[in-house]
Amino acid sequence: MREAEKEYTIRLRQTQRYIIRELRFQFSKTEDEEEKEKINLLEKTFRCNLYPSVMKEINLIRRLGVTGEDLIKRLSDIYFQYNLKSLLDAQVKVEKQKIVPRFICPESLV
């Protein structure tokens, strides 16, 4: 795997994969545009490196098998309770700073 791929590949935990899978399923079922925006925001947020306390909360959600509207409600509550907007903003800022193109000239390697 290339260096750039390693750096930008996100490793999701089982719980995060569950949350994202259920959010995508809910996204495909809904017709409401506001609801779709909310689901997109939740998906972006729960792809980040999350606090251990948040992981504990979503682990419980997965074990209880929460799905549908209840899942979105609980994830929204967690989003506001732990102020995950700041976490998402910080990650986006760091990603923008990391993007630096590097050119390698094969002639200089000879």
User: Structure tokens of 99?
Assistant: 């993007």
First-to-last C-alpha distance (Å) of the chain: 24
106 phi-psi bin (left φ>0, alpha ψ -120 to 50, beta other):
alpha
What is the structure's pLDDT at 86? 87
pLDDT of residue 41: 93
Which residue type does 1 have?
M
pLDDT score of 49: 85
With contact defined as beta carbons under 8 Å apart, do 78 and 54 qualify?
yes
Q: Dihedral sign, CA of 58, 61, 63, 66? A: negative
How confident is the model at residue 26, as a pLDDT?
96
Residues of the chain below pLDDT 50: none
Residue 1: DSSP 8-state: -
Tokens 């700073």 correspond to what residue? 97
**pLDDT tens across 14-27, in order?**
999 999 999 999 99
Residue spans of the domains in the chain: they are 3-109
Query: Are 74 and 61 a contacting pair, CB within 8 Å?
Result: yes
Q: What is the pLDDT of residue 110?
A: 53
